[in-house]
Amino acid sequence: MQHHLRLARPVGDLARAQAMYVKGLGLHVIASFQDHAGFDGVMLGKPGAQYHFEFTQCHGHPVTPTPTQEDLIVFYMPAKAEWDGACADLINAGFKSVISFNPYWDANGRTYEDHDGYRIVLQNSAWLNDTSS
């Protein structure tokens, strides 16, 4: 059975989060909703990907995002040219380059922070889920 991952996060400005993640990570709006029990939201993903982001904003009881420096979403990108381009895309979309709290992420990657303090790491290396060992 194949599973799908949704990363759900409250944001302070829904339109701004949508614009940043669409421009910065090349995501597309795959669904959205308004006033669903007091929440507005948008789901962003890529065709065929096994994950998507959901960003929400509550009108009646606003939730202040409270990520820590260690709350990370990590994308592994082994091709240097693709990684360089993705790093530039995040900066052009308004993400801020930051020093990672854990120095491991700075050895082969870069960490970026959005306007709510959520962090994305672009790691210039490969990852393989190998359970055979």
Structural element, H or E, at residue 85? helix 80-92
Residues 18 and 47 placed together within one structural domain of the fold: yes
Integer Cα distance of 28 and 6 in angstroms? 14
For residue 99, tell me if it sits in a domain. yes
CB 75 within 8 A of CB 1: no
Q: What is the pLDDT of residues 53-92, one digit of tens each?
A: 999 999 888 788 999 999 999 999 999 999 999 999 999 9
CATH assignment at residue 99: 3.10.180.10
For residue 12, tell me if it sits in a domain. yes
Integer Cα distance of 127 and 78 in angstroms? 8
Domain membership of residue 21 as a residue range: 5-58
CB 13 within 8 A of CB 59: no
Q: What is the pTM of this model?
A: 0.92
Q: What is the pLDDT of residues 28-62, one digit of tens each?
A: 999 999 999 899 999 999 999 999 999 999 988 87
